[in-house]
Amino acid sequence: MVIENYDPLKGQMLQVLDAEGNLAQGFDGVLKNDDVLKLYQVMTLSRMTDKKALAMQRQGRLITYIPQSGQEAAAAASVYALTFEDWIVPAFREMAGWLLRGAKLKDVFLYLRGNEQGSKNMPKLRMTPLCVPIGSQIPHGVGISWAQKLKGENSITIVYFGDGATSEGEFHEAMNFGGVFKTPTIFFCMNNQWAISLPRSLQTSSKTLAQKAVAYGFPGVLVDGNDIFAVYLATKEAAERARQGKGPTMIEAYTYRQGPHTTADDPRKYRSTEEEEKWLCKDPVSRVRKFLEKRDLWDDKKQAALEAECDKIIEEAVAEAEKTSYIPEDIFKYHYAEMPQELQEQFEYFKSTLGGQHG
Amino acid sequence: MAKLTMVQALNQAMDQVLAKDKRALILGEDVGVDGGVFRVTDGLIKKYPNQVFDTPLSESAIVGASIGLAINGLKPIAEIQFMGFYLPAFNQIVAHLARYRNRTRGTVNLPVVIRIPCHGGIRALEHHSEATEALLAQIPGLTVVMPSTPYDAKGLLIASVNHGDPVMFLEPIKVYRSIKEEVPEEMYEVPIGKANIIQEGTDMTVITWGSYIKDVMEAVKDAPYSIELIDLRTISPLDNETILASAQKTGRVLIIQEAPKTCSISSELSSRIHEKCYLSLKAPVKRLTGYDITMPLPAGEELYLVNKPRIHRAMKELMEF
Ligand SMILES: Cc1ncc(C[n+]2csc(CCOP(=O)(O)OP(=O)(O)O)c2C)c(N)n1
Ligand SMILES: [Mg+2]
């Protein structure tokens, strides 16, 4: 029972796998070797996507990019603890989790190329589209899980948000709703220590973010967000509680945004390279690799093969996204089930402007 | 005289305001150490550590606290990071900021300036290219301003700080760094409520504002008509005098706006012109606006924004009515 045993008010943090890849005693079997391998694969894919995307953005092939590096463990292991029946409500920095759920990298690239088609397929995967207004997705997570409860389903919902989002009113209103209606919700906070240039210490005077749950009448737990075992354990347990009708749990994943906020951001304005280097030593991806190597489950050859495979997946996704053309008429078609007359007239004018020759 | 971008002109204006008036202060997300995501407040926290504040990520509290600061005698200049993100603060803006003077029958005025980068043409993510000035202009008690040049930006910002009542100060991102012009070093005001006649003409009046000014000016240059071009500069209250006089003079008006068409600033302009200049008009007012749709993501942005051929077509249709 990790949730009960780790008190966020005392600053206690669940960590099972240390930075050197050593597993604490008594936690063998939490994730089987195959599970760890699967997580390592998707985390590597996410990490390599970051590299590719940053290069593409510099070449003008993506409008912007939202780096994910450093948060792969929290994203992947939390989704891994759920079933496909459970809903995922993302913010925008949980790519490894989306990929585990089955989201297509092609769609991610489409979105980042500024094409709405990238948000089309997510709801079919019980996943809402990426959400830009900070914190505004949190009540949606409560509503989806409330519906699960009202409909008598056994499924639950996980909603992701950052440390910065905990300062928005919508976070507090949603947490309160969750507590009052005892919804099967996991409030998953990616505390990556920064909200653009604002450090976690200036975001709130609370010692931890997880402790905010206490005020809303349900448990919060602080976990090492760079530790797939800790994240998995806490999420699994929170999901069980939710399924048993015990209501929400908040999980604070203590992690780090290794890259800039977006490609438009320059971290040199507000944080030191020393801090960044310190966190690189706690890197979640290499931590899993160390674990695997210690158990003779991994070597350079396997790594090379995995990287080659990821490369191929990424290149295919990029190629598909780049050859997907934007459908001009689509900008009109989806605001109403039936186009109102005024809009219809505007649409006719719009069509007369396509091709450019008629102005 | 130094040639400045709009970003630099705004920065200089705030620098001078903070130096001159210790009651003035800046608050917002990333406005301090980072200097703002567009660097508009760059360096100010170093010079004025007691007047510049990085806030938590809380738009509602940024505006709500600004109201409190102003009630108690200070002069906040708050920044909202993008136009899509003032919405969490809309309750504070509509329910309180706009109403305090009337609610207290003139005893409490709120000298609050809310700076908001706005409009598209910058290939940004969803919610970063909004043009919702009409939402703000409909609220009684709010003054809504939108400069289109570095010179106007500095003068309007200083006028807004001195205005005494709440000003929604909308900054077209597309212009931030795309124009450089001479900006006087000293403090000066560009009057709120006064439109700017950029050029005089007799065939038609073209009215626009904000991020479209530059594109429209270019289209005007190439058009075979004598055009009177007006930059609104203040969106609320509208400068009836200038607008109506021009409409009366030319008898033809084309309004070009980025926002969707329905219930927009162009709707208001058009109805005022029809109501007050009916007998002078040679053609109904023509509107070239955004469509009544959500601003497309960048891959579709060009389909939404006006361009020179569309402007010329609208002018021709107006002339040939
Ligand atoms: C309501 C709102 N205000 C401001 C922004 C601009 N903005 C985008 S991301 C961000 C910081 C978010 O911090 P956090 O919640 O910690 O998420 P992270 O970026 O660290 O993943 C801000 C201020 C926004 N997107 N939405
Ligand atoms: Mg953060």
Residue A154 sits in the same domain as residue A37 = yes
CA distance B120 to A325: 21
pLDDT given for residue A141 in this prediction: 98
Same domain, A302 and A153: yes
Task: Tell me the average pLDDT across B270-275.
Answer: 98
B254 shares a domain with B150: no
Residues B203 and B133 in one domain: no
CATH code where residue B77 lies: 3.40.50.970
Same domain for B268 and B134, yes or no, is no
The domain boundary, picked from B154, B183, B212, lies at: B183
In a domain, residue B49? The reply is yes
Q: What are residue A185's phi and psi, to 5 degrees? A: -120, 140
For residues B90 and B130, state if they share a domain.
Answer: yes
Domain for residue B188, yes or no? no
Contacts of A151 (CB under 8 A, 6+ apart): none
Of B198, B148, B144, nearest in space to B175 by CA: B148
Residues A13 and A52 in one domain: yes
Non-local (6+) Cβ contacts of B67 within 8 A are B92, B96, B97, B100, B110, B112
CATH number at residue A148: 3.40.50.970
The C-alpha angle A78, A79, A82, rounded to 5 degrees, equals 100
pLDDT of residue A356: 56
Q: A242 and A150 in one domain?
A: yes
B230: CA distance to ligand 1 center in Å? 37
Rg (CA), chain B: 19
Clarify whether residues A249 and A355 are in a common domain.
no
> In this structure, are B10 and B44 located in the same domain?
yes
A164 lines ligand 1 (CB under 6 A): yes
Find out whether the beta carbon of A67 lies less than 6 Å from any atom of ligand 1.
Answer: no
| Domain assignment of residue A12, given as a range | 2-324
- What average pLDDT score do residues B172-190 get? 97
If asked whether residues A267 and A137 sit together in one domain, one would say yes
Nearest CA distance, A355 vs chain B (angstrom): 10
When pLDDT is averaged across residues B217-228 and rounded to a whole number, the result is 97
Q: How many domains does chain A have?
A: 2
φ/ψ of B78, rounded to 5, equals: -95, 145
**B174 and B237 assigned to the same domain:** no
Check pocket membership of A195 for ligand 1, CB cut-off 6 A.
yes
Query: Does the structure show a pLDDT above 90 at A34?
Result: yes
Whether residues A253 and A294 share a domain: the answer is yes
Query: Is B246 a domain residue?
Result: yes
Q: Give the pLDDT of residue A359.
A: 55
Whether A68 and A85 map to the same domain: the answer is yes
Q: Which residues of B touch A63 (CB under 8 A)?
A: 123-125, 297-299
pLDDT of residue A354: 87
Predicted pLDDT at A1: 81
Q: What percent of chain A has pLDDT over 90?
A: 98
Two structure tokens written together for B35: 């200097």
Q: What would the mean pLDDT of A279-299 be, rounded to a whole number?
A: 98
The predicted structure's pLDDT at residue A358: 53
Cβ of A168 within 8 Å of Cβ of B300? The answer is no
The parent domain of residue B211 ranges over 196-319
| Same-domain status, B170 and B247 | no
Indicate if the pLDDT at residue B93 is higher than 80.
yes
Share of chain B above pLDDT 90, in %: 100
- On whether the CB atoms of residues A248 and A214 are closer than 8 A, the answer is no
Per residue in A113-145, pLDDT (tens digit) is 999 999 999 999 999 999 999 999 999 999 999
Q: Do A279 and A350 reside in the same domain of the chain?
A: no
The rounded Cα B226 to chain-centroid distance in angstroms is 26
Whether residue A284 is found in the same domain as residue A330: no
Residue range B24-66, pLDDT digits in tens:
999 999 999 999 999 999 999 999 999 999 999 999 999 999 9
Closest CA to B294 of A174, A94, A110, A119: A119
Q: How confident is the model at residue B161 (pLDDT cuts 50, 70, 90)?
A: very high
Across the beta sheet with B196-199, the strand order is B196-199, B227-231, B204-208, B253-260, B286-290
ipTM more than 0.90?
yes
Q: Judge if B60 and B168 occupy the same domain.
A: yes
Q: How far is the CA of B14 from the centre of ligand 2 (A)?
A: 29
Query: CA of B275 to nearest chain A CA: how many angstroms apart?
Result: 23
With respect to residue B191, please indicate whether it lies within any of the assigned structural domains: no
Domain membership flag for residue B295: yes
Is residue B248 assigned to a domain? yes
Residue whose CA lies nearest to ligand 1 atom number 8: A134
Both tokens of B108, joined, read 């409490």
Residue B202 resides in a domain: yes
Taking CA–CA distances from B86, the nearest residue in chain A reads: A133
Number of domains in chain B: 2
Question: Do B254 and B276 sit in the same domain of this protein?
Answer: yes
Residue B14 lies in a domain: yes
Verify whether residue A261 is a known catalytic residue. Answer: yes
Half-sphere exposure of B266 (CA within 13 A, CB side): 24
Residues B131 and B260 reside in one and the same domain: no
Of B7, B260, B239, nearest to B133 (Cα)? B260
Interface mutation vs chain B, best among A136, A137, A168, most B CBs within 10 Å = A168
Q: Is residue B161 domain-shared with residue B40, that is, in the same domain?
A: yes
Q: For position B298, which CATH number holds?
A: 3.40.50.920
Q: Are residues A304 and A351 in the same domain?
A: no
Above pLDDT 70, what percent of chain A? 99
pLDDT at A357 exceeding the cut of 60: no
Chain B closest CA to A151's CA: distance in Å? Answer: 31
Residues β-bridged to residue A134: none
Give the end of a domain, one of B183, B207, B230: B183
What is the tens place of the pLDDT at every residue in B201-212? 999 999 999 999
Q: Which SS3 state, helix, strand or coil, does residue B47 take?
A: helix
Domain-terminating residue out of B183, B217, B249: B183
Rg (alpha carbons) of chain A, rounded to whole number: 21
Residues A256 and A339 in one domain: no
Clarify whether residues B87 and B13 are in a common domain: yes
